[in-house]
Amino acid sequence: MSATWITLSRFPLLLASMLALYLGSPPLQLAGVGVLLVGLLLDTVDGIVARRTGQASLFGGVLDIATDRTYELVLWVGFADLGLIPTWVPFVILTRTTLTDAFRSLGVAQGTAPLDQHRTALGRFVVRSSTMRIAYSAGKVATFCGLGLARALDGFPAGSIAAGVGPRLSAMVTVALWATVLLCLVRGAPVIVGGLARQLTAVMPNEGRGLLDAGPDAPGGGHSLRSG
């Protein structure tokens, strides 16, 4: 199966898991969490397949990010709607996502894949390093699946083993939630600041460009736009 089809297969899995969490009985909700876990893990599988089969492309990179965005936004908003997370969380994620995707689209229009738009060591590490990507992916899996489990376990009768696990699970999910939101903001910062700096540099007079040196991906500070 091609990497593109693996990516596209994640959409029906997301729909099935959300229908189960919203409309299903507690056992069906548990099954929905399993489907959600598969959909989240396929985000790693499609990238591995693309690299090993030489299918990595600009379109594949954009589709992968678009799928990730769909998962993130649907799940954050959905869990807030179900009352499992504070409403400010999806507002923050939506703002961050809108800004990062807007600046990334400028690079894509010039033929540069989203994750290849960072030329400084700091920008590359925060946005595209295996360490940060694995940490963020693990945080999302733990948070989203944990919230789904909390939703399912809450529906079991009081006094059952499943119902007793719920409170302890909720405490762990809260920690994962905060860590995931923090990582989301940290990974978005270089995209926003660097993208803004590059666009302002393109329209400002040369003598004003020194004001942009503070950006993680801005020219200056020991790293030029051509340096690695």
> Is residue 136, in this structure, part of any structural domain at all?
yes
On whether the CB atoms of residues 185 and 139 are closer than 8 A, the answer is no
Whose CA is closest to 46, among 137, 127, 122?
137
Q: What is the dihedral of CA 199, 202, 203, 206, to 10 degrees?
A: 130
Q: How many domains, in total, are found in the chain?
A: 1
pLDDT tens digit sequence for 183-221 = 999 998 888 887 787 777 777 655 455 544 555 554 444
How many residues are recorded in the chain?
Answer: 228
Which residues form the domain of 73? 58-212
> Is residue 38, in this structure, part of any structural domain at all?
no
> Is residue 91, in this structure, part of any structural domain at all?
yes
> Is residue 19, in this structure, part of any structural domain at all?
no
Cα distances from 54 to residues 8, 9, 57, 106, 126, in angstroms, run 18, 20, 9, 25, 25
Burial (0-12, 13-18, 19+ Cβ within 10 Å), 48: exposed
pLDDT value at 177 more than 60 = yes
pLDDT tens digit sequence for 81-99 = 999 999 999 999 999 999 9
> Is residue 162, in this structure, part of any structural domain at all?
yes
pLDDT score at 223: 43
pLDDT tens digit sequence for 107-147 = 766 666 666 666 678 878 888 888 998 899 999 999 999 99
Mean pLDDT lowest among 28-37, 91-100, 163-172: 163-172
> Is residue 228, in this structure, part of any structural domain at all?
no
Mean pLDDT lowest among 7-11, 51-55, 111-115, 214-218: 214-218
46 Cβ contact list (under 8 Å, min separation 6) = 3, 4, 6, 7, 64
pLDDT value at 168 more than 60 = yes
